[in-house]
Chain A
Amino acid sequence: MTKNRRRSKAASSHDASTPESAALKDSVGCVSQGDMSPVSLCQAVLRKQLTEGMSTYRNSEKGTYLGEGLHQEERQLLDLLRRTATSGESNSVLVIGSRGSGKSKLIKHVIAELLLDDHIRENLLQVHLNGLLQTDDRIALTEITRQLKLENTLGDKVFGSFSETLQFLLEALKSGDQSSKPILFLLDEFDLFAHHKNQTLLYNLFDVAQSAQAPICVVGITCRLDVIELLEKRVKSRFSHRQIHLFNSQTFEDFIVIFKKLLCLDVNFPDQKFAESWNLQVEQLAKDPTITDILRQQFEFTKDVRALQQLLMYPVCQLSEMSPSLSVSDFVESRKLITMDSKSAMLHGVSILELCLIIAMKHLTEIYEGEPFNFEMVYSEYSKFAQRKSSMQVFEKAVVLKAFEHLIHLELVRTVDGAGSRVQKEYRLMQMLIHPTQILDALQKYPQCPTDVRQWAASSLAT
């Protein structure tokens, strides 16, 4: 934390040029800033800010980004890790929270805080594992030995078998005691580790944490609330049942604060005058009724900060020399893009014949109350309409079948009993995956839709 404070002080006094430019490069990334106008530089900074969330030093400085509620969790985790690092106490903890609630961010932040201490930085060994990469125990074990640099003790010997690796690792951990270096195991996507055979890895890690061997701290990260129930009883007994829960508990006011923070430029921006006027503009935007309305709608759907970042990305990307400020209409557009119904959008792209088939299927589903139908039924429904009521061309059966298959490929229609059934394709039972309201919506916007098709769709029970 002291380093950050120093950095911000240097930036405000404008004397030392090196830390300032380093900080800037840090926030802009690899983009060279010499030949850039303030607008494009601002765009680059904001894009970075939106993809990575807030830069870490910023949130340790102001401390509000993680939300006031998270300070307690942060302190609890920090205390726990610090005790492992300094007094050699073994621990295990699970961090649980829904997707996008800042679990990894919290842990990254805590570790960064922990490593500021020189003693801890020299002593602490870290092992990062991810349930999506280490899909079974064998891979996980080789990864652990690699990250602990244990293979050096045997020269560059490649391990023979899985069991040898396990014995080797357990031996190594058993030979350690309180005086050996503490190890921090971070298991991301922890619930996937619980699906490994016999949960051998988890048992062994927790067992080491509960016995007088090398001091380790096992931190599991997961989004499943019921993850404890996945553990086998002896694994569960060895787990210390410490759980840190993260919830998106912010109110709408907090949400607006986050919105402002995501868009504001910080003190390290080279053109201070531009930054000031920009921040003023963001302040005004936050008070704009249209923007608050959009934010409220977004807030009603999800309090997830990551979704908010996605919402803000479109307006930021629209910035250019021509339009150097964020416009309200871009926010409206962005919200529209996010909430667009994918099925209705897909229906705009189908041909009139396919649309007729969909309407025929809609009628069939309504008449038979959700019972599955087959192609012959759809075809007879369609030909009844095409011959009697419409002025349209009546297509041959083969053409209609082709259109029907196209709908299956788009997954607007689904076979009831899997693709592998041996029934002829005309008689295969199907179900529609479009809701009637979506069809009516799509028809409203369909370009040049014939009137009789529209009427046919509106008549509830076609006879």
Chain B
Amino acid sequence: KSSTCVTPKIPDRCEPLSSPSNVLEEARTRLHVSAVPDSLPCRETEFEDIFNFVESKILDGTGGCMYISGVPGTGKTATVHEVVRALHRATEQEELPGFKYIEINGMKLTEPRQAYVQMLQQLSNQKATPDHAADLLNKKFTTPGPRKETIVMLADELDLLWTRKQDVMYNIFDWPSHRHARLVVLAVANTMDLPERIMMKRVSSRLGLTRMTFQPYTFKQLQEIVISRMKGLKAFEEDAIQLAARKVAAVSGDARRALDICRRATEIAENLSPSKTKLSLVGMSHVNAALQEMFSSPKVVAMRTASDQEKIFLRAVVAEFQRCGLEEAEFAKIYIQHTALCRIDGLKPPSTTEMARVCARLGSVRLLLVEHGRNDLQMRVRLNVSQDDVLYALKEKSGV
């Protein structure tokens, strides 16, 4: 009990931070993912829904569950946090009775049953073993007590609370249904059909039917998010933001990605601008360079910069695939192809030891997928890139 009183702390820095000195630096601080705005743009309806749900439960003094799903980076956790902030504000103005907010995250637990320990610690600052904590929580939620306020709980990364008996999930969804519990659970996960897929009948029925799905952001929404963060700051050209938004929306609709790309684009613009005092706006070319950096696959470049024998080995692999029509070949067969290709090019064919070295090197960067080297000549080799990519990468080089 005593050890929790001491809050560990990272030591402070010796002198205060330097504040942003120019427009691009200011833009960069605003674009950082951690700089969450007070109200999230483009998530107004979701905010309303969750807010109304929790508010009604608090007013009625009952409990309930809500399941929120959506792909990563669509603002699930941020929206819930915003709802909680809004509710806190309402309590301060005494429009709402008081409530207690606790939060658990499946990824931040070492095993599912630690969720009980976390909940107990946040509720009553007690420390206990998982079993004991479960007992205490059970007693707290199922027996009528003097406690008056509602508890709002956010269970993030719900799928990691899965156990074989599913007791953790069961308890978390079962407690709100008790009359004295007054517990509101907001469960957040990525997959929409999680309750049907991994939960037992009795667990998913307790979860109830209050569901909400966060759709991936469309390009207009992403654009609005970036523009809202850039309000009153002239750092970006309009088209540049639109390009970033469109590209990200086409791939994943992840807001984190859009912000990261814009942030990287400001860095590129700062590096390319003629002087420190006169900074250029972030234009299409900068965003394009950032997109290239973040989305492009380095495999073609890796193949082009490989040494000659490594290139011949890749060609031999492709040749062997085409000869036998399979996507997998034995090292001994590739060795034959390789020596033939070396003779055509007028090079001295290497020994098997050297060939194995070349193969291992290509395997370590994962251009090839190889078995354990102990299988030696019988080692099976597969390509980790498409055959067309190999031919494209190697042809262009020989043409130059």
Q: Counting CB contacts under 8 A, is B351 at the interface?
A: yes
| A435 & B335 in contact (Cβ 8 Å cutoff) | yes
| B111 & A163 in contact (Cβ 8 Å cutoff) | yes
In the complex, the chain B residue whose C-beta lies closest to that of A244 is B293
Within 8 A of A (CB), among B158-181: 160
0/1 interface trace, chain A 184-206, chain B, CB 8 Å (1 if under) = 00000000000000101001100
Choice from A75, A153, A161, A343 contacting B353 with Cβ under 8 Å:
A343
* Chain B residues, Cβ within 8 Å of A248: 305, 307
Give Cα A61–Cα B20 distance, bound, in whole angstroms: 32
Within 8 A of B (CB), among A172-229: 172-173, 175-176, 178-183, 198, 200, 203-204, 207, 210-214, 223-226
Choice from A150, A249, A300 contacting B308 with Cβ under 8 Å:
A300
| B9 & A224 in contact (Cβ 8 Å cutoff) | no
Give Cα A414–Cα B377 distance, bound, in whole angstroms: 11
Give Cα A99–Cα B306 distance, bound, in whole angstroms: 12
* Chain B residues, Cβ within 8 Å of A301: 307-309, 350, 354, 357-358
Q: Counting CB contacts under 8 A, is B364 at the interface?
A: yes
- Assuming the contacts A87-B18, A204-B107, A301-B309, asked whether A240 and B301 have C-beta atoms less than 8 A apart, the reply is no
| B365 & A223 in contact (Cβ 8 Å cutoff) | yes
Within 8 A of B (CB), among A338-385: 339-344
- Assuming the contacts A225-B299, A300-B307, asked whether A87 and B9 have C-beta atoms less than 8 A apart, the reply is no
9-residue interface stretch from B31-39, B206-214, B220-228: B31-39
Q: Counting CB contacts under 8 A, is B44 at the interface?
A: no
How many interface contacts (CB-CB < 8 Å) are there between A and B? 205
Closest approach, in angstroms, between the C-beta of A139 and any C-beta of chain B? 13
Interface size class of B (residues with CB under 8 A): 35 or more
* Chain A residues, Cβ within 8 Å of B36: 212
Choice from A98, A148, A299, A435 contacting B352 with Cβ under 8 Å:
A435
| B256 & A245 in contact (Cβ 8 Å cutoff) | no
| B365 & A87 in contact (Cβ 8 Å cutoff) | no
Within 8 A of B (CB), among A152-167: 153-154, 157, 161-163, 166-167
| A179 & B13 in contact (Cβ 8 Å cutoff) | yes
Give Cα A299–Cα B298 distance, bound, in whole angstroms: 22
Give Cα A163–Cα B114 distance, bound, in whole angstroms: 8
- Assuming the contacts A180-B11, A243-B293, A433-B376, asked whether A210 and B307 have C-beta atoms less than 8 A apart, the reply is no
Within 8 A of A (CB), among B1-34: 3, 6-18, 20, 25, 28-29, 32-34
Give Cα A179–Cα B11 distance, bound, in whole angstroms: 9
Within 8 A of A (CB), among B264-280: 264, 267, 271
| B364 & A181 in contact (Cβ 8 Å cutoff) | no
9-residue interface stretch from A88-96, A270-278, A279-287: A88-96
| B254 & A237 in contact (Cβ 8 Å cutoff) | yes
| B7 & A247 in contact (Cβ 8 Å cutoff) | no
Q: Counting CB contacts under 8 A, is A431 at the interface?
A: yes
Q: Counting CB contacts under 8 A, is B132 at the interface?
A: no
Within 8 A of A (CB), among B342-376: 347-348, 350-354, 357-358, 361, 364-367, 374-376
Closest approach, in angstroms, between the C-beta of A7 and any C-beta of chain B? 28
Choice from A172, A233, A343 contacting B72 with Cβ under 8 Å:
A233
| B13 & A180 in contact (Cβ 8 Å cutoff) | yes
- Assuming the contacts A154-B3, A200-B110, A234-B157, asked whether A99 and B12 have C-beta atoms less than 8 A apart, the reply is no
| A341 & B378 in contact (Cβ 8 Å cutoff) | no
Task: Determine which residue in B13, B267, B310 has the highest number of CB atoms from chain A within 10 A of its CB, and name it.
Answer: B13
* Chain B residues, Cβ within 8 Å of A122: 14
- Assuming the contacts A153-B8, A172-B8, A223-B364, asked whether A241 and B294 have C-beta atoms less than 8 A apart, the reply is yes
In the complex, the chain B residue whose C-beta lies closest to that of A137 is B110
| B256 & A238 in contact (Cβ 8 Å cutoff) | yes
Q: Counting CB contacts under 8 A, is A290 at the interface?
A: no
Q: Counting CB contacts under 8 A, is A16 at the interface?
A: no
Choice from A172, A237, A247, A300 contacting B256 with Cβ under 8 Å:
A237
* Chain B residues, Cβ within 8 Å of A302: 307, 309-310, 357-358, 361
Q: Counting CB contacts under 8 A, is A303 at the interface?
A: yes
Closest approach, in angstroms, between the C-beta of B188 and any C-beta of chain A? 11
Closest approach, in angstroms, between the C-beta of A84 and any C-beta of chain B? 11
Q: Counting CB contacts under 8 A, is A397 at the interface?
A: no
Q: Counting CB contacts under 8 A, is A168 at the interface?
A: yes
Q: Counting CB contacts under 8 A, is B322 at the interface?
A: no
Q: Counting CB contacts under 8 A, is B384 at the interface?
A: yes
* Chain A residues, Cβ within 8 Å of B110: 137, 161-163, 166, 200
0/1 interface trace, chain B 115-158, chain A, CB 8 Å (1 if under) = 00110000000000000000000000000000000000000010
* Chain A residues, Cβ within 8 Å of B350: 301, 339
* Chain A residues, Cβ within 8 Å of B257: 237, 241
| A87 & B25 in contact (Cβ 8 Å cutoff) | yes
| A172 & B365 in contact (Cβ 8 Å cutoff) | no
Give Cα A433–Cα B256 distance, bound, in whole angstroms: 52
Choice from A79, A125, A237 contacting B73 with Cβ under 8 Å:
A237
Q: Counting CB contacts under 8 A, is A5 at the interface?
A: no
* Chain A residues, Cβ within 8 Å of B357: 301-302
| A224 & B365 in contact (Cβ 8 Å cutoff) | yes
* Chain B residues, Cβ within 8 Å of A169: 8
Within 8 A of A (CB), among B378-392: 378, 384
| B307 & A175 in contact (Cβ 8 Å cutoff) | no
Q: Counting CB contacts under 8 A, is A86 at the interface?
A: yes
Choice from B8, B16, B190 contacting A175 with Cβ under 8 Å:
B8
Q: Counting CB contacts under 8 A, is B340 at the interface?
A: no
- Assuming the contacts A181-B11, A200-B110, asked whether A86 and B18 have C-beta atoms less than 8 A apart, the reply is yes
In the complex, the chain B residue whose C-beta lies closest to that of A296 is B308
| A433 & B20 in contact (Cβ 8 Å cutoff) | no
- Assuming the contacts A176-B9, A224-B366, A433-B376, asked whether A243 and B29 have C-beta atoms less than 8 A apart, the reply is no
| A438 & B352 in contact (Cβ 8 Å cutoff) | yes
Q: Counting CB contacts under 8 A, is B302 at the interface?
A: yes
| B107 & A198 in contact (Cβ 8 Å cutoff) | yes
Q: Counting CB contacts under 8 A, is B332 at the interface?
A: yes
Q: Counting CB contacts under 8 A, is B328 at the interface?
A: no
In the complex, the chain B residue whose C-beta lies closest to that of A88 is B17
Choice from B108, B293, B298, B302 contacting A166 with Cβ under 8 Å:
B108
* Chain A residues, Cβ within 8 Å of B264: 242
* Chain B residues, Cβ within 8 Å of A204: 107-108
Q: Counting CB contacts under 8 A, is A119 at the interface?
A: yes
* Chain A residues, Cβ within 8 Å of B332: 435
0/1 interface trace, chain B 238-281, chain A, CB 8 Å (1 if under) = 00000000000000001011001000100100010000000000
Give Cα A343–Cα B356 distance, bound, in whole angstroms: 12
Rank and list the top 8 A-B pairs by shortest CB-CB distance, nearest first.
A237-B72, A341-B351, A172-B8, A247-B305, A176-B10, A163-B110, A212-B34, A300-B308
21 inter-chain pairs at a CB distance below 8 angstroms, sorted by A residue, are A79-B267, A86-B17, A89-B32, A99-B361, A123-B13, A161-B110, A163-B109, A166-B109, A181-B11, A200-B107, A233-B72, A236-B72, A237-B73, A237-B257, A248-B305, A299-B308, A301-B308, A301-B354, A302-B361, A303-B307, A343-B353
Additional pairs, 8, CB under 8 Å, beyond known A182-B13, A233-B190, A247-B301: A119-B15, A122-B14, A169-B8, A198-B160, A224-B365, A226-B366, A237-B254, A301-B307
